[in-house]
Structure 1
Amino acid sequence: MPASGDTDLPQPVIRLALADEYDEVARVWMESWVSTGLEDASNFLLAKLRARVPMEVEKGWSLYVADDNGRLAAMLAVHLPDRYLDQLFVAPEYQGNGLGRRLLAFTRQHLPDEIWLRCVRENEKAWRWYEREGFVFEKEQVEPMTGFVMKYYRWKKSD
């Protein structure tokens, strides 16, 4: 069995983010986003994400983190009333160990019937992963704020 299948290793705990962790959430978000190769890390990008986190929470995000003994391993932002999975980012050093799948399972506990999300078209690794996880492609549309072409996906509980 591969090392990532070891169950005796303590797993990061998924919990609500604390307000004093928002800067760290933004750092995890940036490092994970940068790991896609679609944008370079910069103070500007970090500042933009740091400003966005509290603003999005105010607008209705339920913001969760995967806490690995005080170190943030991932961030998850969902908008429950809209059944929208807005952001799921795993820090690069935690990628490939099933944490993303745990966060998705956690999301399905909160949104058991239906979830929709958007993914940047060029982030093929992400959208292929969502497809493997049962999400169905619906459409592509340009996001006017960023200029990125977004792929829209939806998952519905099968009857």
Structure 2
Amino acid sequence: MSQPIIRIARADEYDEIARVWMLSWVSTGLAEVSDFLLANLRARIRREIEDGWSLFVADDNGTIAAMLALHLPKRYLDMLFVAPAYQGQSLGRRLLAFTRTQLPDEMYLRCVRENEKAWRWYEREGFVFETEEIEPSNGFVMKYYRWKNKGDAS
């Protein structure tokens, strides 16, 4: 079985990317599937791309297995969501490794405090907690992290 290929997302995939994003977010237990949530994510993808997102997907022979949104000028890993059927297969780790090729020196991210599985994973991957703030748009407490390349120790 081949591994999904990480590539730039196409505009005709945005609706499916929003669906994968929603299902992955729902898998955290912090939301429920709804047409309203899906519509908001669809609109957000288009808005965020206009505001500078570089959007990537993990493509498993035509099936979107994950989405990755980076804001390269801000050195920001904005979204990394793996479809539930692909979770636990190291796809998130592959996407993070890809991200480090795009942002090799330093990057930032934020994670919902209640999504403990995610932020503990980022900490294991070398991200350092910096602060917490309430996100006014949704009321979630966000944990902010930074990763800095320590360089080659050899």
Q: CA deviation at 1:40?
A: 0.5
Paired residues for 1:8-157 under 5 Å: 9-157=1-149
Query: What amino acid maps onto 2:131 in structure 1?
Result: K
Figure out how many residues of one structure are paired with residues of the other and give that number: 151
Matched residues, percent identical? 75
SS at match of 2:38: helix
Q: CA deviation at 1:39?
A: 0.6
Residue 4 (structure 1) aligns with: none
The CA deviation string for residues 35-86 of structure 1, in whole angstroms up to 9 with x for no partner, is 0000111000000001111110111000000000000000000000000000
Runs of 4+ in 1 over 3 A off after TM superposition: none
Task: Supply the distance in 2 between the matched residues of 1:47 and 1:73 (Cα, whole angstroms).
Answer: 20
Task: Supply the distance in 1 between the matched residues of 2:100 and 2:107 (Cα, whole angstroms).
Answer: 8
The CA deviation string for residues 6-32 of structure 1, in whole angstroms up to 9 with x for no partner, is xxx300000000000000000000000
| Gaps in structure 1 of 5+ consecutive residues | 1-8
Task: Supply the distance in 2 between the matched residues of 1:92 and 1:132 (Cα, whole angstroms).
Answer: 21
Q: CA deviation at 1:125?
A: 0.3
Q: CA deviation at 1:114?
A: 0.3
Task: Supply the distance in 1 between the matched residues of 2:46 and 2:59 (Cα, whole angstroms).
Answer: 19
SS at match of 1:40: coil
Query: What amino acid maps onto 1:82 in structure 2?
Result: K
Query: What amino acid maps onto 2:52 in structure 1?
Result: G
Q: CA deviation at 1:127?
A: 0.1
The CA deviation string for residues 70-108 of structure 1, in whole angstroms up to 9 with x for no partner, is 000000000000000000000000000000000000000
Q: Provide TM-score, normalisation by structure 1.
A: 0.94
